[in-house]
Amino acid sequence: MSSTILHIPAVPTTEPLDEVAANSDTGPDPGADATEPKEPFLVALGQRVRAIRARRGMARRALALAAGVSERHLANLEYGRGNASILVLQQVARGLQCPLAELIGDVTASSPEWLMLRELLEGRDEATLHRVRVAVGELLGTGGTNASLAQGKRSERIALIGLRGAGKSTLGAILAEDLGFPFVELSREIEKFAGCSISEIQGLYGQNAYRRYERRALEEAIQIYPEAVIATPGGIVSDPANFNLLLAHCTTVWLQADPEDHMKRVIAQGDLRPIASSNEAMEDLKSILAGRAAFYSKADFFLNTSAQALQSTVMALRVLVRDALGMPA
């Protein structure tokens, strides 16, 4: 279906660079032999490693440094040529008739209650797991869905989620002005807490510190603003605790866009680093989108910002949000 590309004006952003990885690592299997048989378990393990890395927006080189392993070793793992000793563990687990997680000490196998919960949930479909997550969140008071719905209305904190370049800052500022709500750009609040830029947080202190600052900024925004439009960092879905908090206290809208539009808008914001290896950067971007799409889809509403011109998109978002909040159009 043909569509008119949305030209969103360039707005300076503090969102992390990992939203569009600059160094490629999505190329062919290094040293691969097309005739070499691969163990399915190791192939699946490598696929899971790649999927998690994509969801977190990490280049392979960055993960190799964080994990303290060589980039070559990590590449072998991702392409199904990992250390075969893990196959021995798998065989032992089968012999013991227990999950591999229990054998290696995963937290979900650390007590009888965890194991019984695993047994209850194993094999359930996504809809059932969603209902369980919401019910557990309500029981524990940690949310997991829009808590205001229990009172028959949606939260008036509107959180825009999506990858960098989706239009969160541009559309969020316009929507906030239309509604008469404060506009909160969470990335800027994170920098205020840390006293330095996001790139410095990640470079000096790492991803764990960044996620802690992200949590503090989100908690404060929820506490201070009963009404607000919040533009969130694209990677907020990579932290289940932070994403649960967002879903519980905000009405969420996933701003979707075509990968080409994401890239154009990032470059228009002044970030020229993807240009140096644009083909590889595009593949990285598509990989990140694929890794996060299942999480973004937990939002209450979706809006495609590539499907129409800017003014039409603004109107569509305005109508969507006002209708959700029961406000006159």
Contacting residues for 33 by C-beta, under 8 A, at least 6 apart? none
Q: What CATH number should be reported for the domain holding residue 172?
A: 3.40.50.300
Q: What is the rounded average pLDDT of the residues 307-321?
A: 92
Give per-residue pLDDT as tens, 104-114: 767 777 788 88
Domain count, the chain: 1
Range list of β-strands (E), the chain: 157-161, 183-185, 228-231, 251-256, 301-304
Please check whether residue 122 is in contact with residue 115, taking contact to mean a CB–CB distance below 8 angstroms. Answer: no
Give per-residue pLDDT as tens, 68-100: 888 888 888 888 886 767 776 677 677 667 777
Q: What is the rounded average pLDDT of the residues 1-29?
A: 49
Q: Is the pLDDT of residue 8 over 70?
A: no
Give per-residue pLDDT as tens, 35-54: 566 788 788 888 888 887 88
Q: Which domain holds residue 190?
A: 1-329
pTM equals 0.74
Tokens 């609040």 correspond to what residue?
189
- What phi, psi does 157 have (nearest 5°)? -90, 115
Please check whether residue 167 is in contact with residue 265, taking contact to mean a CB–CB distance below 8 angstroms. Answer: yes
Q: Is the pLDDT of residue 226 over 60?
A: yes
Q: Is the pLDDT of residue 103 over 60?
A: yes
Contacting residues for 244 by C-beta, under 8 A, at least 6 apart? 137, 142, 143, 144
Query: Which amino acid would we find at residue 19?
Result: E
